[in-house]
Amino acid sequence: MAGLINIGFGNVVNTDKIVTIINPDSAPAKRIVQKAKESERIVDATQGRRTKSIILTDSEHVILSALQPDTLAGRFQNTQEHKEML
């Protein structure tokens, strides 16, 4: 059963597809976002706010979120614990 994680503003992502959640401040992260824009593999879920985390998926899509990586990681962890209980 796939879990869903709320990434802000009513947007959710399938937890089975998440590879990593990274901070957008580094140069490599900025290059990842730029390449994803060029190849149309980017999903902007920030609602016009500042990007605070980048979610990379197994399908090579890049999702931008306005939530902190720590917040998303906590939600991800809670989702995984909930899945284990089922």
> Does the pLDDT value for residue 1 go beyond 80?
no
pTM: 0.92
pLDDT digits (tens, 9 = 90+) for 35-78: 999 999 999 999 999 999 999 999 999 999 999 999 999 998 88
The pLDDT confidence band at residue 84, using thresholds 50, 70 and 90, is confident
Q: How far is CA 13 from the centre of its chain?
A: 7
Can you give the pLDDT at residue 78? 85
CA distance 64 to 46: 6
Please give the tally of structural domains in the chain. 1
Which domain does 64 fall in, by range? 4-85
Contact 7, 13 (CB under 8 A): yes
Can you give the pLDDT at residue 80? 80
Q: Are strands 18-22 and 53-57 parallel, antiparallel or unpaired?
A: antiparallel
